[in-house]
Chains A and B, each alone.
Chain A
């Protein structure tokens, strides 16, 4: 369900990141316990958990009368892939520059040897 954009949007809020960090440390926790870790109300914690739940970053479980939450890492794995993609975009750009630079050398030799070529706008 979740995609990288939704996950990133959910993580845009520093409080939600903090909340998720605390939950990942606790392993499993109720909203009340999490509210004890953070300078916000239990009600605010519940609202933030709902946002995280929508994008699949947490999941609630009922344990008797308690509603406990755990972190889910699947959506994070997707964002890791996305970060790798950022690096790959630079690899791609560098490879295009490489192609142009290496090809223009060949081109240069070609134009040098055929002097009848019309003069180009700018030569180095």
Chain B
């Protein structure tokens, strides 16, 4: 398992422009990313996409790239509600769109988990869904390591 990034993709039976709209228009971002709550988007490089995820908090993601209809990326400080995302406190979420004979391939890569440091005092105060995302890298690396050692260890918990 790569500890720094999550990569997923889906093939969509719709033209690339329509996928772009579904990805970037406030009403649909609200559906896929904000539990139906209000979203405001200043759709340009450096613009803010503000999400209200209800109980999980409000997030000020910062748009990194807007290149319709192929690339949309932003920084998401999922451990820091209400704080503007910066390179130090966030992961990079990058959507790429590609037209193929099968349909539009929409790919998402969330990266930067390994570099993300969540101060211990934040861990306790942040809600689980919020802070937990930042731990993927550290934990994945660690779990892999310990599990591997465990397989060769002679003891089994009785």
Contacts and interface: CB of A to CB of B under 8 A. Distances in A.
Interface of A: 4-5, 8-9, 11-13, 17, 20-21, 24-25, 27-28, 59, 70-74, 76, 79-80, 82-83, 86-87, 90-91, 93-98, 100-102, 104-105, 108, 124
Interface bin, chain B: 35 or more
B143 A98 contact: no
Interface string B1-34: 1000010111011110111011100001001110
A90 B123 contact: no
A11 B13 contact: no
A36 to B, nearest CB: 18
B12 A101 contact: yes
A37 to B, nearest CB: 14
B94 to A, nearest CB: 12
Given A13-B120, A21-B146, A24-B150, A98 B140 contact: no
B118 interface: yes
Given A5-B132, A87-B8, 18 more contacts: A5-B128, A9-B124, A11-B138, A21-B146, A21-B149, A25-B149, A28-B155, A72-B157, A76-B142, A82-B132, A86-B6, A87-B6, A93-B108, A101-B12, A101-B21, A104-B18, A105-B14, A124-B21
Contact of B12 (A4, A80, A98): A98
A24 B149 contact: yes
Nearest to B128: A5
Contacts of A13: 120
Contacts of A74: 157
Nearest to A104: B18
A79 B143 contact: yes
A95 B6 CA distance: 16
Contact of A100 (B13, B22, B135, B142): B22
A97 B28 contact: yes
